[in-house]
Amino acid sequence: MFTLAKPLARLIAELSRLPGIGPKTASRLTFYLLRAPKEQATALAQAIGELRQNIRECEICFNLSDENPCAICSDPQRDKSVICVVEEPLDVLAIERTGEYRGRYHVLHGAISPVDGIGPEDLKISELLRRLDKEKIEEIILATNPNLEGESTAMYLHRLLIPRGIRVTRIAHGLPVGGDLEYADQVTLIRALEGRREM
Amino acid sequence: MFTLAKPLARLIAELSRLPGIGPKTASRLTFYLLRAPKEQATALAQAIGELRQNIRECEICFNLSDENPCAICSDPQRDKSVICVVEEPLDVLAIERTGEYRGRYHVLHGAISPVDGIGPEDLKISELLRRLDKEKIEEIILATNPNLEGESTAMYLHRLLIPRGIRVTRIAHGLPVGGDLEYADQVTLIRALEGRREM
């Protein structure tokens, strides 16, 4: 039986282990790298190899950063009275991209999911409560994902935070901008109706 | 303005340069690698770094291999009288996956494309002709892609090979198995009708 050259097979196997990359994409990328300028492959290999060397969690918000505290937490321009709670560092990136949010963050590093055995104690929740003891927070925006785990986490946090007299808000659910009402799922449509506002 | 930690930004940038990988996929992969076991990231970086070290073109069929001649060309079990001409090494892989072809290959490393400035002299065509002088070939299967460039290349090769008295065949065009006639494009449907066979 025909076997692929070992260095090719090895890279295809390694790439296939990445999420969302199947064997076909992995082969395509492998042959691409084989033809690309040598510098490109070297730069990629180095970037992967050095990825963890300078990355740690910010001691305040637990976002990933090469500084501690991170650039956002140490920025005097940011509103220190608002914390936006997100599940993952990528969510911080998504919200920062909007350019609309001027407060700070708290990264939970996951969401409550009994099916996956992830409880509140596995997330940075006690760290969030400790922040509330130290910092003067007026509003907490719960920006966990609009799915089962994200909603459970938001509800859990809501129950925990309300007794502290802090304003707790949840990001809005509704139809995505540019979306099509006709194709919206029922739950989104119900939420969009519930969340309707005066024009 | 918020900037992402440098090692993260750098890997996202490098991954985004790969074909078919946009900034969002690149971020997702980067954060995945950050969380994956350190060994996985190291293995991937190494596989990329060592990709070219042992890969060369087979001197007979120009497929990429870590052996020369490649495993297929040096396999005494393969039928030496048939050559399947393909554009790229990935095409060899695709045909090998079927397990149905027992002949050998010839990899052109591209297809004739005047738009991209690729002429016959840029492909391994003279090398194919030299093979025909040396080897006893009875059939050449033209398995270039069923697109404009692949068809031009097949026609060019056909004209070149016919005077040599070798049987020259082209892989069949038609409806993909499991496909839907209703959604087939016109050209494919015309080819499928032209290529109809007795049942």
* pLDDT confidence of residue B52: 84
| A23 assigned to some structural domain | no
| pLDDT tens, residue by residue, A115-173 | 999 999 999 999 999 999 999 999 999 999 988 999 999 999 999 999 998 999 998 88
Q: Is residue A159 part of a domain?
A: yes
pLDDT of A1 higher than 60:
no
Domain membership of residue B124 (yes or no) is yes
Answer whether residue B70 is part of any domain: no
pLDDT of residue A3: 67
pLDDT at A4 over 80: no
In a domain, A90, yes or no: yes
Q: Which among B18, B42, B51 is the nearest to A7, CB-wise?
A: B51
Confidence (pLDDT) at B53: 83
CB contact under 8 A, A72 and B41: no
d(CA A22, CA B74): 30
Of A20-29, A89-98, B44-53, give the lowest mean pLDDT range. Answer: A89-98
| Per-residue pLDDT, B11 | 94
Q: Pick the residue from chain B with its C-alpha nearest to A39.
A: B49
pLDDT band at A2 (very low <50, low <70, confident <90, very high): low
Nearest to A34 among B11, B55, B99 (CB): B55
What pLDDT does B3 receive? Answer: 67
What would the pLDDT profile of B29-76 be if each residue is shown by its tens digit?
Answer: 998 998 899 999 999 999 999 888 878 899 999 999 888 899 999 999
**Largest Cα span, chain B:** 70
Provide the H-helix boundaries in chain B: 6-16, 23-35, 38-49, 89-98, 125-134, 148-161, 186-194
The number of angstroms, rounded, from the C-alpha of A82 to the middle of its chain's C-alpha atoms is 18
Is A18 part of any domain?
no
Q: What domain count does chain B have?
A: 1
Interatomic CA distance for residues A51 and A46, integer angstroms: 8
Instruction: Please compute the mean of the pLDDT values over residues A184-189 and round it to a whole number.
Output: 80
Output the DSSP codes for A45-70: HHHHHTTTTT-EE-TTT--EESSSS-
pLDDT tens, B123-141?
999 999 999 999 999 999 9
Q: Is the pLDDT confidence value at B167 over 60?
A: yes
| pLDDT(A6) > 90 | no
Over 80: is that where the pLDDT of A56 sits? yes
| Among A4-8, A176-180, B17-21, the least confident range | A176-180
Contact B52 A64 (CB under 8 A): no
Q: Which residue has the tokens 């194919």?
A: B128
A118 lies within 8 A of chain B by CB: no
Kindly report the pTM of this predicted structure. 0.70
Q: What is the mean pLDDT of residues B164-181?
A: 85
Q: Are strands B104-107 and B82-86 parallel, antiparallel or unpaired?
A: parallel
Residue A123 lies in a domain: yes
From the list B20, B48, B88, which residue is nearest A45 (CB)? B48
CB proximity B72 to A under 8 Å: yes
Residue with tokens 């994409």: A25
Domain with A162, as residue range(s), is: 80-173
For chain A, helix (H) and strand (E) counts, in that order, are 7, 6
Residue A147: CATH number of its domain: 3.40.1360.10
CA distance B165 to chain A (A): 30
Amino acid B81: pLDDT: 95
- Establish if B187 belongs to a structural domain: no
The string of DSSP codes covering A151-191 is HHHHHHHHHHHGGGT-EEEEPPP-PPTT--GGG--HHHHHH
Locate tokens 């449907």: which residue?
B189
pLDDT in tens, B71-125: 999 999 999 999 999 999 888 988 888 888 999 999 999 999 999 999 999 999 9
